[in-house]
Structure 1
Amino acid sequence: MKKILVTGASGWLGTEIVKALLARGDAVIGTDIAISPATAASVKRQPRFTALAADLCEWPQVLRMMQTHRPDAVIHAAAIVGVIQCADIPIKANRVNVEGAVNLFEAMRLTGVKRVVHVSTEETYGDFRAPVIDEDHPQNPTSVYGATKLAVEHYGRIYTREHGLECLNVRTCWVYGPHLPRLRVPRTYVEAALRGEALHDPDGADLAVDQVYVDDTVAGLLLVLDKPVHRFDSYNIATGAAPTVADVAEAVNRAIPGARISVGSRGPYRHGGRVLSAKKGALDISRARAELGYEPRYDLQRGIEATIEATRTALARQGAVTDLRTTGVQQ
């Protein structure tokens, strides 16, 4: 049994990481600015889980946390996540994402904790120069979010070189799944279809982007965490395929009888309808396959259907699905 510190433990992805670690028998210190009721409920009566409220931007709290708990390794999932979110608050995004990570690295250095797995993003690449790109693709981010995550990667390399840390980067892509907290594809499509509402996005149909079901993302992170010796400091953890936004709409339409989701090609895809997306594509996962034994379990259709089932249950509890007999996933 290992003791793993998970930052951002109350976030959507962080909660799933915590549950996966506990399920396999690890002890987990879950830290966030506040531990959410959802996270607390998901790990209820788990003696191997320690909840810890801490702000990574507050150096005394970070150092005290590391001195007190001295984990075997860290999964760093805490961040202001998303292109539109960071575009709206660039100064805060830099402080939370970059300064928070440096505080974490420095506390690790002082307490002798060596390994950290950083949840990075395809946004560090900027505009993809090919339909499928590997980890050696130039990193020229076009968004505030991508710039902050690339800065964390570079700081990690400095701490690895100068102080003997092992900072490993998992670059995932558009992660989705049940209870995604942000109003974006495919959540918006799934919820509209389950409510029996037609939805038409006039722009962005042709944007091709690797979409990764949350369970595959978590599996990849744990493989990176567990590998004893790494030859590389970064891995693409995705599917290796790039369905278009229109393909996502069709996947929802196939899965839900009577769904009316459509996307037009009038203009490019814009996050939140206003921030232009970088050119995307698929992430080459050959390195993760060869080095980690990673293999995604969910293609787009299977991931959409799993998302629909969980969302359907949640909406039914809220009384938001009027006819469950006609809104189920097709078998």
Structure 2
Amino acid sequence: MTETILLTGASGLIGRAVHRMLRERGDDVIAIDRIGGEEILACDLSEIHRLYEFAANATAIVHCGAISGPMVARDNPYLIVQSNVVGTANLLELARVRKMRRVVCCSSVSAYGNTPAGLDLVPEDVPLRPTSVYGASKAAGEHLLDGYALQHGLDGVSIRPAWVYGPGRTTDCAIRSMILDAQAGRTTHFPFGRDFYRQYVHVDDVAAALVLALDAKKLPRRSYTITGGGYITLSEVARTVKAVLPQADITLGDGADPVDDVQARFDISAAQRDLGYRPRISLEEGLRSYAAWLAARR
């Protein structure tokens, strides 16, 4: 059965993939973004009257609109708060007033911060201790959703993706740098990361998880972590890039990424059990699709 979905951040990396999936299966999508475009209505999350106007017939929300990572707007923390916290509050209130069926919010593993020492596998219920304003804004959005659920009965869920890559990603990303440098004949050098673990997930797997959360009949939890299933060092990422692009010349130094959290492997069994989530795109397959997209843009 199809329904009318309000999709925020529809021009963004994850929003575009969600938009495509919902449209392909026949849903009526009210796609909005701060900057409009083809099939996308221009609407900032602060424009409350426009939100209510556009969402007149919506029965659920998939909320992907946000400052999209700790590397974005680093010098403008107030903008992050306005977009990610106040914007989320505006949507939750819209859903409450309109008695919508469900709100699915795209959060981030940045909400965790550095994961607790001694854990080999990190469940969703560990304390959130974000180390950036971006991470704090995502944690705040999750707590707001929890409050609306407990006090007002709003059916909502937060999905926490790991590092997202794939066609459409234009912001800073180690994978993006490695691919672009290889395609341009440049050497990639990071003064860190040889033994630094990072968890990547392809954008299409994230979009699939959000749609699964939208469709689930019952959600035993209000937060789920989503990864690509791997837990690998940047050295291993570099080797996979070289397998896809043999001309790649990548060197890495020792130590952790100075602007990233140190995180143990995330447990995705809750998403597998409750949502039916399975990461379907291997790193090599995802790198090939991303490299092709980046090459076409050149």
Q: With the length of structure 2 as denominator, give the TM-score of the two structures.
A: 0.94
Does residue 268 (structure 1) correspond to residue 256 (structure 2)? The answer is yes
Question: Counterpart of 2:182?
Answer: 193
- What is the rounded CA distance, in whole Å, between the counterparts of 1:116 and 1:171 in structure 2? 14
Does residue 138 (structure 1) correspond to residue 127 (structure 2)? The answer is yes
Question: Counterpart of 2:84?
Answer: 97
Q: Deviations over 1:93-140 (max 9, x none)?
A: 101110111111112211221311000000111102234311112211
Deviates more, 1:78-87 or 1:16-25: 78-87
Structure 2 runs not aligned, ≥5 long: none
Fraction of identical pairs, as percent: 35
Question: Counterpart of 2:267?
Answer: 284
Q: Deviations over 1:204-252 (max 9, x none)?
A: 2222111001111111111111001111111111123211122111111
Alignment partner for residue 183 of structure 1, among 165, 172, 176? 172
Q: Deviations over 1:68-106 (max 9, x none)?
A: x23121000000111122432111110111011111111
Alignment partner for residue 147 of structure 1, among 136, 139, 162? 136
| Post-superposition offset of 1:151 | 0.5
- What is the rounded CA distance, in whole Å, between the counterparts of 2:140 and 2:125 in structure 1? 17
Does residue 296 (structure 1) correspond to residue 279 (structure 2)? The answer is yes
Deviates more, 1:177-186 or 1:95-104: 177-186
Is the 1:3–1:26 contact (alpha carbons within 8 Å) kept by the matching residues of 2? yes
Question: Counterpart of 1:229?
Answer: 218
May I ask how many residue pairs the two structures share in their alignment?
Answer: 295
SS of match in other structure, 1:85: coil
Is the 1:239–1:282 contact (alpha carbons within 8 Å) kept by the matching residues of 2? no
| Post-superposition offset of 1:52 | 2.2
Q: Deviations over 1:153-186 (max 9, x none)?
A: 0111111112121120001110000231102210
Is the 1:86–1:144 contact (alpha carbons within 8 Å) kept by the matching residues of 2? no
- What is the rounded CA distance, in whole Å, between the counterparts of 1:121 and 1:28 in structure 2? 23
Structure with greater Cα Rg: 1
- What is the rounded CA distance, in whole Å, between the counterparts of 2:40 and 2:246 in structure 1? 42
- What is the rounded CA distance, in whole Å, between the counterparts of 1:175 and 1:132 in structure 2? 20
Does residue 19 (structure 1) correspond to residue 20 (structure 2)? The answer is yes
Is the 1:239–1:285 contact (alpha carbons within 8 Å) kept by the matching residues of 2? no
- What is the rounded CA distance, in whole Å, between the counterparts of 2:230 and 2:175 in structure 1? 16
Root-mean-square deviation over aligned CA pairs? 1.5
| Post-superposition offset of 1:294 | 1.1
- What is the rounded CA distance, in whole Å, between the counterparts of 2:107 and 2:69 in structure 1? 11
Is the 1:120–1:171 contact (alpha carbons within 8 Å) kept by the matching residues of 2? yes
Amino acid at match of 1:11: G
Deviates more, 1:84-93 or 1:2-11: 84-93
Q: With the length of structure 1 as denominator, give the TM-score of the two structures.
A: 0.85
Is the 2:30–2:54 contact (alpha carbons within 8 Å) kept by the matching residues of 1? no
